[in-house]
Amino acid sequence: MDKPMSLSANADGLLRYRDDAPHEEPAVTLDAFLGQTNATAVRIEAGDDARALIPHLGQIALVEISFPSFRDGRGYSAARILREAGYDGELRAQGDVLVDQLLPMRRCGFDSFAPESEIDAATAEASLSRYENFYQKAADGVVPIWKKRHG
């Protein structure tokens, strides 16, 4: 993973790991998106099939994935599916996002966070930078340990 950029927390508590400006268009539901062709921001609910977006990734600048509870891990798979399909726009985790979930979320490809309760920036920095290496290849471009072992 890239070393975490300094958190750009804006007034809404949005944490972003991107250099581009936040996308302004409000996100529409998956059903609404699939029914209209000109939207550029989509919101995926936990039970939605993220694969339905794959034919349209070129036109999307923001995908917001809902976490109704931190225990509901479906959004991690949705994020990876989109990144694996080549999506490189903003991928935002929204909802019950806690500081200890930021690292696995980053590894699954999320690059912005809209937590319901504010996340302390220093704690977030510490938890995101604690691990230097990871066993698995994931969606964050990190070189897995097995690759480092064998070149």
Kindly tell me which of 3 and 149 has the beta carbon lying closer to other proteins. 149
Instruction: State which residue, 39 or 124, has the beta carbon closest to other proteins.
Output: 124
User: Which positions ≥6 away from 100 have C-beta within 8 Å?
Assistant: 127
Which of residues 35 and 47 has its CB atom nearest to other proteins in the complex? 47
CA-CA distances (angstroms) from residue 78 to 52, 107, 108? 11, 13, 9
Q: Measured from the CB of residue 38, what is the shortest distance to other proteins in angstroms?
A: 28
d(CA 112, CA 93): 6
CB of 145 to other proteins, least distance (A): 5
Q: For 3, phi and psi rounded to 5 degrees?
A: -60, 135
CB of 21 to other proteins, least distance (A): 27
Radius of gyration of the chain (CA): 15
Q: In the complex, which residues of this chain contact other proteins (CB under 8 A)?
A: 70-74, 76-78, 80, 84, 98, 100-101, 103-105, 107-108, 123, 126-127, 130-138, 144-150
Adjacency order of strands within the sheet including 28-29: 8-9, 15-16, 112-115, 90-95, 62-67, 41-44, 28-29
Shortest reach from residue 138's CB to other proteins, in Å: 5
Compare residues 63 and 105 and give the one whose CB is closer to other proteins: 105
